[in-house]
Structure 1
Amino acid sequence: MNRPMDPLTTEVVDLIGTVVARYHQEYDAAAAVHRLTGAQARVLALLSRGPMPMRQIAQRLKCEPSNVTGIVDRLEAQSLAERRADPADRRVKLAAATEQGRQLAEELRSSLDFAREPLASLTVVERTLLRDLLQRMLGPEGLPD
């Protein structure tokens, strides 16, 4: 049975939704400057942290693996990503950012102003508390590797 949310929880949920919407809007706009979709830019950001199996990318983005295949295909066509065999299991294909892809991912990350400026107005203690609360909300299964 679903219980109604208390007003404070409703306000927090709405604020989180607004932050997420702004993040996607700004990410999509930054990506478009480089002739990428928002989804391509988000995959590139994941790959810039290190090679990753396609299935794991799909899980992280909450989408179908077939969608990831198309996104990686387009990133490959622009020399921003490549596929390689997993050294631990040659049957598994990893997607990886190229050097050009890693540079572009960093440019995109650096161009996101909406969060940087408001976060800069918080103290280190406040940012640490915010990070810790968000991590606690997500739980261990929701945290990036």
Structure 2
Amino acid sequence: MTQSTAPPTEPDGPGTDLLMERLAHAAACYYRSFAVVAANQGLTLMQGKMLSLLLQPRPMRALADLLGCDASNITGIVDRLEARALVRREASPADRRVKNVLLTPDGEAAVRQIRADMATGLPGLAQLDAYERRALFDLLDRAFPPAAG
């Protein structure tokens, strides 16, 4: 007789409290791994996060909003990434007062390396089959719509 290792749940599934606990655990695991991967590139967690947000050019104000920090912090992070030739700033074509931040080729290479290292640093995701990955992706999209973030 096999015994289940799953925690007891309510008849309708886990409650919001348990879901938030699992989500917090997942986020902590993700960011712990991300911090290690970023450090291996000589980056802080925030620098690595910023690089990963720059798959398209973004205004500095938008980066501050996405990272949940003050615009003055973004200036310092961009300064340090620019000094390492990982990003560059350019005036927005729509409004010359707005500065967009873009990845340089070295920045693109750093993001590719971070993503590759993250894929190996989170082995639980690799254990999911295609159906499970699609289900998780769809559930995360429903719970946290990309446009809402």
Q: TM-score, normalised by structure 2?
A: 0.84
In the alignment, the residues of structure 1 paired with residue 108 and residue 145 of structure 2 have an alpha-carbon distance, to the nearest angstrom, of 28
Q: Name which one, 1 or 2, has greater alpha-carbon Rg.
A: 2
* Runs of 4+ in structure 1 over 6 Å off: none
Counterparts of 1:68 and 1:56, CA distance in 2 = 10
Structure 1: runs of 5 or more not aligned = 1-5
Letter in 2 for 1:67: N
Alignment correspondent of 1:59: 65
1:109 to 1:140, Cα distance in 2 relative to 1, 3 A:
closer
Q: Distance in 2 between matches of 1:140 and 1:85?
A: 26
Note if 1:134 corresponds to 2:140: yes
Q: CA offsets, 1:81-102, max 9 Å, x none?
A: 1100111221211011110011
Distance change (3 Å), C-alpha of 1:114 and 1:75: same
Distance apart, 1:140 and its partner CA = 5.1
- Structure 2 unpaired stretches of 5+: 1-12
Q: Percent identity?
A: 40
TM-score between the two structures when normalised by the length of structure 1: 0.86
Instruction: Give the CA RMSD over aligned residues.
Output: 1.7
Q: CA deviation at 1:123?
A: 2.1
**What is the aligned length?**
136
